[in-house]
Structures are given as structure tokens and as C-alpha cells.
């Protein structure tokens, strides 16, 4: 009997060994079969899912570290219908906190589309409103009887970032805005949209909350530091607003640039919008050119272009500062008689007197002496009719007609010389005139000062354009313009600082002729003359108190120039010269 049990035990053991071997063989076969990869992928798909992570948009600061554009957290408020207990309580609370209609909320909650378990009640909800609802939900949960749920059960909150502009409308024309889809429009926001937005990251992430540490962080977008001085920008906007009221102008601009580097220090426009309410764009502006007319609006510049005409004449050897001519008050060119602004003769004048009295006849005389080829070659070298390359979206190129164009006539050689029949933008004039202030070399205007990425700051190098005139010509013309202002007793003069510059008064073409009662007035100037650290361009559209730039734009220039030297800490000429001598 004992031997019989032994044989049975051995047989059972052998069967178990065979069964175990069969399992091992089967496992090996499955692991090496084509279906194994499918099983593994299914396992991974259950544990992971593809998700796209969007970086926070880069911030924007002024040159002194003042935040101009950043991010704030807002909320989407919705309802999870699978756990909701009281639609009336949710509708009432949301209507009260968010200013929504109770009946509409009830309709949305009680009649959702088929198959929908979550509905959005409101998005872009301010953090304060969302926090109020969250606290109310918490309080109702705590007050609910044991074993029951509060009345706001099911109310859900999802946070996400939104672009925020802490200064509201300040520098709005420079910054531009970001819409709710995250796309930048106008200004810096559009020009540097891809840098600011950063790069989204799409990766497999674990669905198991215990593995949340594996979720990656998308690197934030690039932070930009602008050349803009926030305090100077605010001052320019305030002074411009006051000037519009004082002189009855329809619109206007004040732009301030470092003429040695091209850095824009302030760009003030009369129309501005609260960037936090970008949806009001159509209320503030009629078209895109009005968002930042400094770079987008073309107009006839008037007498400020005489700076370039005189620069070309001096550089080409056509005239010297002491060259004289007899001003009879009018001159014939291309079959058209051109007159001075006051229609009077000024007798014998040299080139300083030509600038000081802003004589149209003088400009026609020297442009015809230069000849069309020389004159237009210089205007082209100054960038008239070309983009400056300023790093703001929506720059316009202007228009300079030249011989050979179907709409160019011989009289244009004369009228273009004193700023009629040519279309420029304020930024284009500043870039061109920078050659006079910067020893003959033009700068490229720009607002980007530095970029911050991965904890490192990268400075933007100075940017220069062409050299249309020699250093000698630039220095000579600087002195001529300074003397002309001083001898005139211009309202643009700044006590303690020697200034160079020129007024502009441009009649506005109406129905094919120039209306002497409708003008754009301007003044462009820079200083101190011996070491220019600022260039200011003031432009006023249709002032009603006076049609002349000398009585409107010039005093505005003086006011903003006085504020500029204070904010930029530029000592008066006498103190600077003493410091240099030491």
C-alpha cells in the first residue's frame, strides 16, 4: 500500500512539473509573439496620455524694471452635472456673483446637450469673483447636515492665465495687446509674438495622480525689456493731452529717441486704449493706422524736411553756410509759382537765414541748383519712402515720388524740398534727421533693449543705418540749426541747454488743393547740441488756436524737453562742460 501511494505521489509531482514547464513555455511564446508589443502599448496607453503644455507668456518691462505687461490668473466656472445637487442654488449664486441672468443659467444647467456631463457657465472670471464663489461653496458644505452635500456641489473652477497690463492704457500704442486666443496684435506683442509666447510642449504624461511628478513644465516665453522709460512715457502722454486741449488739435504725437543709439525712450499718441479691455478696439480706433500713428500714419511733413534738403545741399557742395541769394518772395518752377509761407520777400539771405525764416523760395532755389538726380539720391539715402525697420508691427513706408514715376512732375522737385508732395511717418523723419544729430550716421529706431531667457539677460546691440552725409556736414548743420533757433528767439528753446531743431507747418490738401486754414504743425529738435542725448518730435493735427508750428508744436517741444532732461538726469551745458574739463 505504501509503495502504491509513493507511485501516485511521483506521478502527481511529474504532472505538476510538466504543467509548470508548459506555463513557462507559453509565457515565453507570448512574450516573443507579435501580439506582445500590442499588449505592452495598451498597458502604456492606459497609464499615459498625450498632452500639450503651453508656457506662460513672457513679461514686458521698461528699461528700469517697471512691469508693463504680465500674466494674471483667471477662472473658468462650470458645473459637473454628474454630482450637482441643487441647480437653483448654483444658478442663484452664479447670477449674484458674476452678474449673469438667473433664468438663463437655469436653462443651461437643466437642459444641457445630450451626452454632456460638464457645462461652462462663464470664462475669464476675475480671481476675486471666483474666490467668492469658492468660499461660498466651502461654507455651504460645512453647514450641510452630516451625510449630505452643500448646495453648490458640482460647481467647478479651472484656473488659467490671461495677459494683464498693470498700467492700463499707458504706452498702449507701443505694447499692443493679446486676445483671448493668445495671439498678439500691434506693437511689441505682435512684433515679438513668437518669442513672448514660447514653445508648447506635447508629451506623454501619466494618468495616475501618484505619478504627477513626471509631468513636465513648458519653459516660459522670453521676457522683454524695452528701451522705453516709463516715467518719461507718462510725462509725454500728459503733456500731449494738455497740448491737444490748449491748441485745439484733433490728434497728435510726441516721440522721444536717443539719436546716438536709436533707442526709443517714449512714444506718446493721443488715442490710447485700456489694453485689459482690448475688445473695445473698434470703439477707440477707426482703422489700424490710428493705433500708433508714429509708425503707421503718413502725412506731408512740411518744413521739418528742410533739414534734409539743406543737409543734401551742404554735403553735395551746392552751398555753404555763408552762401547768399536774393529772396524775392516767389520763384517759378515747372510752370508753377512757389511763394514763401508769408508771401513776402526777405531780400538777401544766407543759409542760416534760410533756415531761421523757413523760406520756401530758398529751398526751391537750392534743390534746383542740386538737380533732381542729386536731390532724390540724398532723399533716398535718408530713407524717405522706405521702412525704417523699427521693431513695432504695422510700420508704413511713406512715399517719395521720383523722376520717371507717372505722377511725378518738375514742380515736385521744388515742393518736395520744403515738405509738400511727399509722404512720411514721424518715425521715418526721426531716423532720417538722426544722421544730422549723430555725426552723419543714421540710427535704426527700436524699442527692444534686452531679452531675458533661462535666467540670462541678453542685451540688444546698437543698430545703425546708412551714412548719407559726412560728419563735417552734420556738425555744420547742427550749428546752423542751433543758431537759427537762438537768433529767432524760438519758443522751443530750453533754458540751460543748447538745442538744434526745426519747425514744420504743412498745409493739408483738401479736394485737390492746399487749404491754408488746415495745417499739421510739428517741431523736431535734439540736444544738448554738443552731445545729443535726446531727439523729440512733436506733431499736432489741425490745431485751431494757430496754424503755425512755431506757436504750437515748438512750445510743446520745450515743455517735454525740460521734463526729459530732468528724468534722464542730463545736467545743464555749463555743468556738463565743467565736469568734462575736470
3-state secondary structure 70-98: EEEEEEEEEEECCCCCCHHHHHHHHHHHH
CB 498 within 8 A of CB 541: no
CB 266 within 8 A of CB 64: no
Q: Left (φ > 0), alpha (ψ -120 to 50) or beta: where does 44 sit?
A: alpha
Q: What is the pLDDT of residue 140?
A: 85
Average pLDDT, rounded, for the chain:
90
What is the percent of the chain with per-residue pLDDT over 90, rounded to a whole number?
A: 69
Q: How confident is the model at residue 117 (pLDDT cuts 50, 70, 90)?
A: confident
Dump pLDDT digits (tens) for 222-250. 999 999 999 999 999 999 999 999 999 99
pLDDT for 5 beyond 60:
no
Q: How confident is the model at residue 21 (pLDDT cuts 50, 70, 90)?
A: confident
Name the most confidently modeled range: 39-43, 76-80, 295-299: 295-299
Q: What is the pLDDT of residue 269?
A: 97
**How distant, in Å, are the alpha carbons of 81, 116, 198, 297 from that of 110?**
9, 11, 41, 53
Q: What is the pLDDT of residue 148?
A: 73
Among 17-26, 144-153, 329-338, the least confident range: 17-26
Strands 456-459 and 336-339: unpaired
Q: In terms of C-beta density within 10 A (0-12 exposed, 13-18 middle, 19 or more buried), how is residue 226 classed?
A: buried
Q: How confident is the model at residue 55 (pLDDT cuts 50, 70, 90)?
A: confident
Which phi and psi angles does 229 have, rounded to 5°?
Answer: -95, 110
Q: Which of 378, 338, 341 is nearest to 356 (CA)?
A: 341
Model pTM?
0.85
In the chain the domains, ranked by start, together with CATH numbers, are 2-48 (no CATH), 53-226 (3.90.1310.10), 230-581 (3.40.710.10)
Dump pLDDT digits (tens) for 447-502. 999 999 888 899 988 888 999 999 999 999 999 999 999 998 899 999 999 999 99
Contacts of 562 (CB under 8 A, 6+ apart): 494, 495
- Three-state DSSP class for residue 249: coil
CA 75 – CA 582 distance, rounded (Å): 61
CA 560 – CA 232 distance, rounded (Å): 9
Among 26-35, 371-380, 475-484, 539-548, the least confident range: 26-35
Q: How confident is the model at residue 31 (pLDDT cuts 50, 70, 90)?
A: low
Q: How confident is the model at residue 39 (pLDDT cuts 50, 70, 90)?
A: very low
pLDDT for 42 beyond 50:
no
Q: How confident is the model at residue 50 (pLDDT cuts 50, 70, 90)?
A: confident
DSSP code at position 506: E
Measured at the CA of 488, the angle between CA 473 and CA 253, to 5 degrees, comes to: 75
Largest CA distance in the chain: 149
Q: How confident is the model at residue 207 (pLDDT cuts 50, 70, 90)?
A: low
CA 365 – CA 475 distance, rounded (Å): 23
Long-range contacts of range 355-359, CB-CB < 8 Å, 24 or more positions apart?
Answer: 355/306, 355/310, 355/480, 355/481, 355/484, 355/502, 356/483, 356/484, 356/485, 356/487, 356/488, 358/303, 358/306, 358/502, 358/503, 358/505, 359/327
Give the chain's radius of gyration (CA, Å).
36
Dump pLDDT digits (tens) for 355-409. 999 999 999 999 999 999 999 999 999 999 999 999 999 999 999 999 999 999 9
Q: What is the pLDDT of residue 517?
A: 79
Dump pLDDT digits (tens) for 126-154. 999 999 999 998 888 888 787 677 788 88
Q: What is the pLDDT of residue 391?
A: 96
Q: Which of 483, 492, 490 is nearest to 352 (CA)?
A: 483
Alpha-helical (H) ranges within 279-409 are: 281-284, 293-296, 306-315, 351-356, 360-370, 372-381
Dump pLDDT digits (tens) for 397-441. 999 999 999 999 999 999 999 999 999 999 999 999 999 999 999
Q: At what angle do helices 35-47 and 2-31 cross, to 10 degrees?
A: 80
Among 186-195, 372-381, 513-522, 556-565, the least confident range: 513-522
Q: Which of 446, 453, 388, 445 is nearest to 194 (CA)?
A: 453
CA 15 – CA 10 distance, rounded (Å): 9
Dump pLDDT digits (tens) for 265-314. 999 999 999 999 999 999 999 999 999 999 999 999 999 999 999 999 99
Q: In terms of C-beta density within 10 A (0-12 exposed, 13-18 middle, 19 or more buried), how is residue 409 classed?
A: middle
pLDDT for 331 beyond 50:
yes
Amino acid at each position: 500500500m505504501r509503495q502504491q501511494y509513493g507511485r501516485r505521489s511521483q506521478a502527481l509531482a511529474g504532472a505538476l512539473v510538466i504543467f509548470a514547464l508548459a506555463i513557462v513555455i507559453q509565457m515565453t511564446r507570448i512574450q516573443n509573439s507579435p501580439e506582445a508589443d500590442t499588449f505592452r502599448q495598451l498597458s502604456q496607453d492606459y497609464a499615459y496620455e498625450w498632452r500639450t503644455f503651453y508656457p506662460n507668456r513672457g513679461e514686458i518691462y521698461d528699461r528700469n524694471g517697471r512691469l508693463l505687461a504680465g500674466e494674471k490668473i483667471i477662472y473658468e466656472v462650470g458645473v459637473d452635472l454628474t454630482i450637482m445637487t441643487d441647480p437653483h442654488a448654483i444658478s442663484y449664486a452664479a447670477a449674484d456673483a458674476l452678474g449673469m441672468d438667473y433664468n438663463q443659467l437655469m436653462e443651461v444647467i437643466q437642459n444641457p446637450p445630450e451626452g454632456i456631463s460638464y457645462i461652462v457657465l462663464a470664462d475669464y472670471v476675475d480671481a476675486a469673483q471666483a474666490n467668492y464663489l469658492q468660499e461660498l461653496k466651502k461654507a455651504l458644505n460645512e453647514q450641510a447636515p452630516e451625510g449630505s452635500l452643500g448646495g453648490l456641489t458640482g460647481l467647478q473652477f479651472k484656473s488659467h492665465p490671461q495677459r494683464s497690463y498693470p498700467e492700463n492704457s499707458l504706452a498702449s500704442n507701443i505694447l499692443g495687446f493679446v486676445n483671448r486666443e493668445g495671439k498678439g496684435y500691434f506693437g511689441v506683442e505682435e512684433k515679438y509674438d513668437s518669442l513672448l509666447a514660447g514653445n508648447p510642449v506635447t508629451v506623454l504624461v501619466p494618468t495616475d495622480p501618484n505619478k504627477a511628478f513626471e509631468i513636465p513644465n513648458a519653459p516660459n516665453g522670453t521676457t522683454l525689456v524695452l528701451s522705453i522709460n516709463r516715467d518719461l512715457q507718462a510725462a509725454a502722454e500728459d503733456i500731449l493731452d494738455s497740448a491737444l486741449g490748449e491748441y485745439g488739435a484733433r490728434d497728435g504725437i510726441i516721440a522721444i529717441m536717443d539719436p546716438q543709439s536709436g533707442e526709443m525712450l517714449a512714444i506718446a499718441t493721443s488715442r490710447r486704449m485700456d489694453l485689459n479691455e482690448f475688445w473695445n478696439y473698434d470703439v477707440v480706433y477707426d482703422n489700424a493706422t490710428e493705433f500708433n500713428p508714429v509708425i503707421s500714419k503718413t502725412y506731408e511733413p512740411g518744413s521739418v524736411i528742410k533739414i534734409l534738403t539743406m543737409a543734401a545741399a551742404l554735403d553735395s557742395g551746392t552751398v555753404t553756410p555763408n552762401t547768399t541769394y536774393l529772396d524775392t518772395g516767389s520763384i517759378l518752377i515747372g510752370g508753377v509759382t512757389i511763394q514763401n509761407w508769408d508771401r513776402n520777400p526777405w531780400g538777401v539771405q544766407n543759409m542760416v537765414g534760410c533756415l531761421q525764416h523757413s523760406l520756401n523760395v530758398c529751398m526751391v532755389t537750392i534743390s534746383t541748383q542740386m538737380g533732381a538726380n542729386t536731390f532724390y539720391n540724398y532723399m533716398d539715402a535718408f530713407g524717405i519712402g522706405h521702412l525704417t525697420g523699427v521693431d513695432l508691427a504695422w510700420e508704413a513706408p511713406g512715399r517719395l515720388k521720383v523722376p520717371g514715376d507717372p505722377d511725378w512732375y518738375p514742380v515736385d522737385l521744388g515742393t518736395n524740398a520744403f515738405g509738400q508732395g511727399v509722404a512720411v511717418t514721424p518715425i521715418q523723419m526721426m531716423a532720417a534727421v538722426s544722421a544730422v544729430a549723430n555725426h552723419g550716421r543714421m540710427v535704426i529706431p527700436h524699442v527692444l533693449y534686452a531679452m531675458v531667457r533661462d535666467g540670462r539677460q541678453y542685451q540688444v546691440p546698437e543698430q545703425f543705418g546708412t551714412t548719407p552725409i559726412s560728419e563735417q556736414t552734420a556738425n555744420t548743420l547742427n550749428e546752423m540749426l542751433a543758431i537759427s533757433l537762438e537768433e529767432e528767439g524760438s519758443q522751443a528753446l530750453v533754458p540751460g541747454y543748447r538745442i538744434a531743431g526745426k519747425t514744420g507747418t504743412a498745409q493739408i490738401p483738401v479736394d485737390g488743393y492746399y487749404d491754408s486754414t488746415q495745417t499739421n504743425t510739428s517741431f523736431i529738435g535734439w540736444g544738448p547740441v554738443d552731445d545729443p542725448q535726446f531727439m523729440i518730435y512733436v506733431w499736432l493735427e489741425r490745431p485751431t488756436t494757430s496754424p503755425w508750428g512755431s506757436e504750437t508744436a515748438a512750445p510743446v517741444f520745450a515743455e517735454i524737453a525740460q521734463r526729459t532732461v530732468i528724468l534722464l538726469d542730463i545736467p545743464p551745458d555749463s555743468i556738463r562742460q565743467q565736469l568734462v574739463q575736470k
